[in-house]
Amino acid sequence: MQGAGWVDGEIIETLWLLLNIASTLAQGMSAPHNQELLDFQINNCNFMKMICMVNSLMQKLTTVRVAADMAKWPFKTLDEAVSVTQCDMWTYQEQVAFRDQMVDPSAMDIFKVQMKKAPTVYTVELEFLNNTTLSRAQCGMGSWLTHGLRLEEVAITLCIDHCNVGAHVPELKRLVIA
């Protein structure tokens, strides 16, 4: 995606400790002096990061290169599996999103993963029952399958309850398990 990046090292949270110390000094200052002191402190911290963190940055660069190499094969596989028409449509959607993002920020929602929720067991069972092309025996098989899954779920729950039974279990609990 155009303009995407991996932000690292310039976030405000890393500066909180030093800014908390400087902010006590800046409380009695006028607004311009306060701003100048905090700007100086932040610039100094960023400069020290550049000087002192060369090894850290080199390690992060190596990590990024490895991650980029690992991402090339899956991207190539996806790129080969997508039709030219689909690729053109995605490119058009991307261009429209970037064009309209300033006017309507929701235009960028096209980049969100859009997944449909799986249907519930009851929805599938209703589909089986409402499907007119299925024979009566096949509808019965759908119900039997649903009942079988429910039975398996109850058996697992019973096994878990049985494992959690201790020596001092109330009679009602033992009766339910029995």
Higher pLDDT, 91 or 125: 91
Q: Phi/psi of residue 81, each to 5°?
A: -85, -15
Is the confidence at residue 130, as pLDDT, over 80? Answer: no
Q: What is the pLDDT of residue 164?
A: 73
pLDDT over 90 at 85, yes or no? yes
Query: Which letter does DSSP use for residue 117 in this model?
Result: P
pLDDT of residue 89 exceeding 90, the answer is: yes
Average model confidence (pLDDT) across the chain: 80
pLDDT at 171 over 60: yes
- Residue pLDDT, tens place only, 18-27: 778 888 888 8
State the pLDDT at residue 27.
82
Nearest to 34 by CA among 19, 13, 49, 18: 19
pLDDT higher than threshold 80 for residue 17: no
- Does the pLDDT at position 88 exceed 90? yes
pLDDT, position 111: 85
Phi-psi region for residue 116, left (φ > 0), alpha (ψ -120 to 50) or beta? beta
Q: Tell which wins on pLDDT, 2 or 42.
A: 42
Give this prediction's pTM: 0.37
> How much is the pLDDT for 92?
94
Task: Give the model's pLDDT for residue 12.
Answer: 61
User: Residue 30 pLDDT > 80, yes or no?
Assistant: yes
pLDDT by residue (tens digit) across 132-163? Answer: 565 555 556 667 777 788 889 888 888 887 77
Say which residues have a Cβ less than 8 Å from residue 8's Cβ, sequence separation at least 6. Answer: 60
List CB contacts of 23: < 8 A, sequence separation 6 or more.
38
In sequence order, the 6+-apart residues with CB closer than 8 A to the CB of 96 are: 107, 110
